[in-house]
Structure 1
Amino acid sequence: MITLQNISRTFTTAGGPLHAVSSASLQIEQGDIYGLIGFSGAGKSTLLRTINLLERPDEGQVIVDGEELTKLTLRELRKKRLSIGMIFQHFNLLNNLTVYDNVSFPLEIAKVPKAQRHKRIESCLEMVGLTDKAKAYPAKLSGGQKQRVAIARALANNPKILLCDEPTSSVDPQTTGSILAALKEINRNLGITIVIVTHEMNVVKAICNKVAVMEHGKIVEKFDLSEKNIVPQSNIAQYLFNNEISLERELEANYV
C-alpha cells in the first residue's frame, strides 16, 4: 500500500543543515493503523508529510498503490492526493466557513457536482456524528468537534489513506478517546489505511496495530502490536513502552 524506501530530508537553518529524516524505510499494508512515535523533533511529522509529498524527500522513494510519487507530474500528483486525506494537529479549518462548507471545500476543488457534493457532505458529517452542526461556524465548536469536522473533511474525497499528524494533541484527554474511536471505526468500516503521528504511547496502544519508533530522524525500531511478547531493544523504545504518559512533558535526558 505505502512503501517508503531510504527517505531522507534535510532543511537549511541558520545554525546549519538539519537532518530531519535520515534513510527511513517503512512498509505499510492496506488496512493498517500504523503509528509513528517519538519525542518532539524526532522527524515523525516530516516523514508523514513525505507520503503525500507535502515534504518532498531529498533522497528515497515514495510508493503509494504501486506508483512512485516523486516521478509524477504536478497534475498527476494533485490527482493522486485526492486518495490521501490528511488531518492536522490544529484542525486547519476555515473559520469564515460553516462546518458544511468546510467539508465541501475539497469537493469543490475536485470539481464534484453540487448534488453529489451535498450527498457526500451529509454522509461524512453523519460518520463523525456532527449532522446537527452543519450550519455552525468553527468558533462555536469544542476542540473535539473541530477535529471531527477535520476528519469529515479529510474523508470527503473517499480517500484510501488517512494521514493524521498529532490528531489528539490539541484536545483534552476525555475527547482523545472519542477521536480515536472515530478513527478506528473509519478504519474498520471503510477499510481506510491510517498513518498516525503521536508522542503518546497510550494513543498507539489504543488504536494502532503496528508502530515505528523514531529518534533523531531515524527509525530505530518497528513493532507489530499483535505480538504478545514485545521486547524493545533501544533505550527510547524501552522508555516509550514502559511509560504511557505524555512524552512532551518529559525531558529526553530521562531515558538516556
Structure 2
Amino acid sequence: MITLQNISKTFETAGGPLPAVSSVSLQIQQGDIYGLIGFSGAGKSTLLRTINLLERPDEGNVIVDGEELTKLSLRELRKKRLSIGMIFQHFNLLHNRNVYDNVSFPLEIAKVPKADRRKRIEHCLDMVGLADKAKAYPAKLSGGQKQRVAIARALASNPKILLCDEPTSSVDPQTTGSILAALKEINRDLGITIVIVTHEMNVVKAICNKVAVMEHGKIVEKFDLREKNIVPKSPIAKYLFNSEITLASGLEAHYA
C-alpha cells in the first residue's frame, strides 16, 4: 500500500542545513493503523507529509498503491491526493464556512456535482456523529467537534489512506478517546489505512497495530503490536514502552 524507500529531507534554516529525515525506509500494508512516534523534532511529521508529497523528499522513492508519486505530473499528483486524506493537529477548518461547507470544500475542488456532494457530506457527517451540526460554524464547536469535522472532510473524497498529524494533541484526554474510537471505527468499517503521528505512547497502544519509533530523523525500531512479549532495545523505545496505558481500556469499553 505505502512504500517509502531511503527517504531524506533537509530544510535550509538561518543556522544552516537541518536534516529532518535521513534515509528512512518503511512499509505500510493495506488496513494497517501505523503509528509514527517520537519526541518533538524527531522527523515524524515531515516523514508523514512525504507520503502525499506535501513535503517532497530530497532523496528516495514514495510509492503509494503501486505508483511512484515523485514521478507524477502536478495534475496526476492532485488526482492521486484525492485518495489520501489528511487530518491536522490544529484542525485547519475554514472559519468563514459552516460545518457542511467545510466538508464540501474538497469535493468542490474536485468538481463533484452538487447532488452527489450533498449525499457524500451528509454521510460523512453522520459517520462522525455531527449531522446535527451541519449549519454550525467552527467558532461554536468544541475542540473534539472541530477534529471530527476535519475527519469528515478528510473522508469526503473516499480516500484509501488517512494521514493523521498529531490529531489528538489539541484536545483533552476524554475527547482524545472519542477521536481515536472514531478513527478505529473508520479503519474497521471502511478498510482505510491510517498512518498516525504522535508523541504519546498511550495513543499508539490504544489504536495502532504497528509502530515505528523515530529519533533524530531516523527510525530506530519497528514493532508489530499484535505480538506478545515485545522487548524494546533502544533507550527511547524502552522509555516510550514503559509509559502507562491510559486509553486502551477506554477503547475496549467503547467496543464492548
Aligned partner of 1:33 in structure 2 is 33
Could you tell me which residue of structure 1 aligns to residue 249 of structure 2?
none
5 Å-filtered alignment, 1:50-89, equals 50-89=50-89
Match of 1:227 in 2: 227
Displacement of 1:42 = 0.2
Q: What residue identity is the alignment partner of 2:9?
A: R
Q: Is the 8 A contact 2:205 2:245 kept in 1?
A: no
Whole-Å Cα distance in 2 between the matches of residues 88 and 192 of structure 1? Answer: 17
Q: Distance in 1 between matches of 2:6 and 2:240?
A: 24
Does the Cα contact within 8 Å between 1:33 and 1:196 map onto a contact in 2?
Answer: yes
SS at match of 2:118: helix
| Map of 1:14 onto structure 2 | 14
Deviation per CA, 1:205-244: give whole Å up to 9, x if none.
Answer: 0000000000000000000000001000100000000023
SS in 2 for 1:214: strand
The reply on whether 1:122 has 2:122 as its aligned counterpart is yes
Residue 242 of structure 1 aligns with which residue? 242
Alpha-carbon separation, structure 2, partners of 1:52 and 1:244: 33
Residues 164, 197 of structure 1: 8 Å contact kept? yes
Please, what TM-score do these two structures have when normalized by structure 2? 0.95
Per-residue CA deviations over 1:45-77 (Å, capped at 9, x if unaligned) read 000000000000000000000000000000000
| Map of 2:209 onto structure 1 | 209
Give 1:152's aligned amino acid. A
How many residue pairs match? The answer is: 246
Do the aligned partners of residues 245 and 187 (structure 1) sit closer, same or farther apart at CA in structure 2, a change above 3 Å counting?
A: closer
Verify the 8 A CA contact 1:200 1:245 in the aligned structure 2.
no
SS of equivalent residue, structure 1 residue 27:
strand
Which residue of structure 2 lines up, in the alignment, with residue 44 of structure 1? 44
Aligned counterparts of 1:81 and 1:156: Cα–Cα separation in 2: 12
Equivalent-residue separation in structure 1 for 2:71 and 2:229 (angstroms): 41
8 Å contact from structure 1 (residues 31, 187) kept in 2: yes
**Structure 1 residue 245: Cα displacement:** 8.1
Name the counterpart of 2:183. 183
Distance 1:175 1:33 in 2: 19
Distance 2:186 2:214 in 1: 26
Structure-2 residue corresponding to 1:250: none
Pairing of 1:133-172 with structure 2 (within 5 A): 133-172=133-172
Letter aligned with residue 130 of structure 1? L
1:200 equivalent in structure 2? 200
| Separation (CA, whole Å) in 2 of partners of 1:221 and 1:56 | 24
CA distance in 1, matches of 2:85, 2:2: 14
Deviations 1:103-136 (A, max 9, x none): 0000000000000000000000000000000000
Paired amino acid for 2:25? S
User: In the alignment, what sits opposite 1:92?
Assistant: 92
The answer to whether the 8 Å contact 2:36/2:44 transfers is yes
- Take 2:162 and 2:4, find their aligned partners in 1: how far apart are those partners? 16
Q: Distance in 2 between matches of 1:216 and 1:203?
A: 21
Query: Within 2, Cα distance between the matches of 1:182 and 1:244?
Result: 22
In percent, how many aligned pairs have the same letter? 91
Runs of 4 or more off by more than 4 Å in structure 1? none
Structure 2: gaps (5+ residues): 247-256
Query: Structure 1: how far apart are the matches of 2:241 and 2:183?
Result: 22
